[in-house]
Structure 1
């Protein structure tokens, strides 16, 4: 059964991004995004459960918003104002509601990368 999950690794410190705030947004017909859920990542840098479970999965355009600068500032890093990376807006599509979508983020104050995980 399908679901959506995420995981964030702090590559600057070599650890999970515990405490980072993440918002799940869904695209609306007018192109705007509506926030469906906001969470803080646990000690392993993950949500405590799926962002979308099998019954909530819907095809369409989605966005994960990762509050990167706020996370690094909370860790005590001095960042420039404005920071090089403030938030990461990661737009992706769900085409198959029966599939597992895992969206990891590897992040530092100056770079990030992502992929579709398993």
Structure 2
């Protein structure tokens, strides 16, 4: 199973480049950090950098979270300096895409394709 994300700056009408994103999996006592990446010039993350031995390059059926460093991208304009999106993967054979639509005062997300 693969995971991708796409961050779009809805206030500027363009992709949000260079947004730092962390991926973690829910465990018995909190979350375990798996990987991180930065959005490319198109606002996309297609590949992740492992953060330790927990990352195998694929995801299993479980609950995960993506933590977007929106303050690093928006700077002083960020009302929400960090956005955390929690989602559950039921079918690990499917590709999962989690877009984030971002502005200084709001955000929206959904399951993409």
What is the deviation of 1:49? Answer: 2.5
Give the corresponding residue for 1:114: 109
What is the deviation of 1:12? Answer: 1.4
Any residues of structure 2 matched to 1:20-59 within 5 Å, and which?
Answer: 20-30=19-29, 32-49=30-47, 56-59=58-61
Give the corresponding residue for 2:84: 89
TM-score, normalisation: structure 1: 0.83
Q: What value does the CA root-mean-square deviation take over the aligned residues?
A: 2.0
Q: Which runs of 5+ in 2 are unaligned?
A: 50-55
What is the deviation of 1:13? Answer: 1.1
Aligned equivalents of 2:62 and 2:7: distance in 1?
23
| Contact kept in structure 2, 1:3 and 1:50, CA below 8 Å | no
What is the deviation of 1:66? Answer: 0.4
Misfit runs of 4+, over 4 Å:
none
Which has the greater radius of gyration? 1
What is the deviation of 1:48? Answer: 4.1
What is the deviation of 1:95? Answer: 0.5
Q: Classify the secondary structure of the residue corresponding to 1:69.
A: helix
| Contact kept in structure 1, 2:8 and 2:15, CA below 8 Å | yes
Q: Which runs of 5+ in 1 are unaligned?
A: none
Q: How many residues align?
A: 108
TM-score, normalisation: structure 2: 0.87
Aligned equivalents of 1:97 and 1:50: distance in 2?
17
